[in-house]
Each structure stands twice: as C-alpha cells, then as structure tokens.
C-alpha cells in the first residue's frame, strides 16, 4: 500500500510568518512513522517548499493508494482544493485529513471529496485503519476517526495523540529549508503533551488535554543526538515547568556531549522560579524562550 502525505501550500489570502517560523511538518512525520510500522510505503510532499499546486506529477509517478493531508486552521480552503484535485485524477482514491484543524473542528472537512478525518492519531487507530483499508477488518468504526461512509458519525471513544518519534527521513530533501525565529536549519522536538494551564490565547491544551504527559528524558536526549540540524525548537507548551526534569535534561546533554542551540516555549512563572537552572540551560544551548501574553 502506498500513501502520499501532503502539506498544503499557503493560502494566498493569509498573512503568514513563514519567513521566520517555518518548521517541519511534525504531524505528518509522526503519521509517516506509524504507517511505515505497518508496512506502508510513504512519500511526503511539502508544498510549503514545493511549487504551489503541482500535485498531479506526484499522483502520476508515485501512484498512491491513499492521500493524507495535514491541516492548520488557515488550510481549510486549500485542503479541500487538494482533495478535489485528487478526486478529479482518480475518484476512487481515498482522501484522509488530519492535523490541528481536524482535531479541533473536524466538521470543517465533512465534505464528499474527503473520505476520512482523523481527530486523533495513535498506533492502535492507525493499525486498525490500515487493516480496514487492506480488507483485513470490515469495521469502519475506529476510535478517533470520522468515516464518510458512516456520514462522519463516530460515537466511539476519542483519544489524544500518542507520542511517536517523527520519521524525519520522510522530509530529508526539505530539511535545509526549515527554520525557527532565524535559526536554520532547525528541527522540532516535542518532549511532553498536554498542559495544566488554560490560557485563552492557546489551543494546545484543548488538542492535547489538560494533563501533562511527559516523555522519558532519555528518549528525548537520544532523539536530539540523532538530529543532523545544529538547531532545534522544543515545542512543548511550557518546557520549563518541571525543575527535576530540566536538570535531567541538562545531565543528558552533558553526558552525551551534545552541543546544539535550541529555543523553547515557556512561561514567566517558570522562568522566575528557576534563575539558576536557566543559567545552566543557557550553558547547554538555550538561546531563546518564547512567552505567551497570558503567561
């Protein structure tokens, strides 16, 4: 089975900060990793880099069995346009949509050109989805997935996205283009999911849940050690919240001899609580902390 994964091009009516904040499509990379775990052949196309609208050559040459499209809130129009292009090329090719917009407002994609909408992504529901597509399972009711064949009705349990190490090989040809606040090339790393804060400006806690779920620091340090990029962005809601974990993070970087510059999200309270630890993080590569207005 072949999956073509697509990151949409920028909506021409939207003002973006692409010149400053243009990170790798981590959601697609994680989905790619899960697909490959299930023996699926994957090609990822990033139209934030590629020529806008040039989808058909990939349909012709790669001959995908399924198309997967990621989405931000500004992508709804272009996601639907891509789905229409796919259906014009081959009406029988299933179109799958995931991403932030699909998690928060999946009904934005309840249209005839889109067959499945992922509200959440886990190893279990991806395996069940592949089994269903390949005919190994006849069930269309899968937790976290809306199915057009069922009129996009799913009363099953919904879950939060599972931690997956991104398949960065899937974006190898684009990695030199990814940047974050002036640091390029820059990878993105997520070390925790969810947030106990309820900041009105932020949607992350709505997507990931109100409980903090932390990944083992050993796994995170291993992931950072494997990066080719000299810079990385830690995209947790507040990376600076757990003092003990930050000490272990510094220990891990120092013991592995890792010397990379990194940026993270944080809060004013987390910074004020840990002045000495911030100095140690700086010694281990921290160059900037991005704060929200309601911090």
Tell me the C-alpha distance between 207 and 291, whole Å: 19
State pLDDT tens for residues 173-227. 999 999 998 899 999 999 998 887 777 777 777 777 778 899 999 999 999 999 9
For residue 259, pLDDT over 80 is answered with: yes
State pLDDT tens for residues 137-169. 777 889 999 999 999 998 766 677 888 999 999
* Domain 178-291, CATH class in plain words: alpha beta
Residue where the block lists tokens 């069922």: 150
Tell me the C-alpha distance between 82 and 87, whole Å: 9
Which secondary structure element, helix H or strand E, spans residue 261, and what is its range?
A: strand 261-266
State pLDDT tens for residues 211-221. 889 999 999 99
Tell me the C-alpha distance between 289 and 197, whole Å: 17
Return the CATH fold of 2-150.
Answer: Rossmann fold (3.40.50)
pLDDT value, residue 205:
75
The band of 295, judged by pLDDT with boundaries at 50, 70 and 90, is very low
Return the SS3 of 175: helix
197: region left, alpha or beta (phi > 0 left; psi from -120 to 50 alpha): beta
Burial label, 194 (beta-carbon count in 10 A; 0-12, 13-18, 19+)? middle
pLDDT value, residue 210:
75
Q: Where are the domains of the chain?
A: 2-150, 178-291
240 neighbors 213 (Cβ within 8 angstroms): no
pLDDT, average across residues 45-54 = 94
């Amino acid at each position: 089975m072949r999956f073509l994964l697509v990151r949409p091009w920028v909506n021409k009516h939207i003002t973006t900060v692409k010149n400053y904040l243009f990170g790798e499509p981590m959601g697609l990379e994680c989905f790619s990793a899960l697909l490959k775990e299930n023996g699926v052949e994957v090609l990822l196309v990033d139209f934030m880099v590629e020529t806008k609208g040039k989808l058909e050559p990939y349909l012709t040459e790669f001959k995908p069995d399924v198309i997967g499209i990621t989405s931000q809130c500004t992508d709804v129009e272009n996601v639907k346009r891509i789905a229409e292009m796919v259906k014009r090329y081959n009406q029988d090719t299933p179109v799958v949509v995931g991403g932030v917009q699909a998690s928060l407002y999946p009904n934005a994609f309840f249209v005839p050109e889109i067959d499945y909408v992922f509200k959440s992504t886990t190893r279990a529901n991806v395996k069940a989805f592949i089994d269903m597509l390949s005919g190994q399972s006849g069930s269309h009711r899968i937790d976290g997935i809306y199915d057009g064949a069922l009129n996009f009705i799913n009363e099953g349990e919904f879950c939060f996205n599972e931690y997956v190490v991104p398949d960065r090989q899937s974006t190898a040809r684009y990695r030199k283009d990814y940047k974050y606040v002036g640091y390029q090339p820059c990878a993105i790393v997520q070390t925790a999911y969810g947030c106990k804060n309820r900041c009105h400006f932020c949607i992350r806690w709505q997507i990931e849940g109100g409980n903090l779920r932390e990944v083992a620091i050993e796994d995170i340090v291993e992931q950072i050690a494997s990066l080719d990029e000299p810079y990385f962005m830690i995209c947790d809601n507040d990376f600076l919240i757990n003092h003990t974990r930050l000490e272990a993070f510094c220990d891990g970087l120092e013991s592995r001899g890792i010397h990379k510059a990194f940026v993270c999200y944080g809060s004013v309270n987390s910074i004020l609580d840990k002045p000495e630890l911030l100095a140690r993080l700086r010694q281990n590569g921290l160059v900037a902390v991005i704060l929200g207005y309601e911090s």
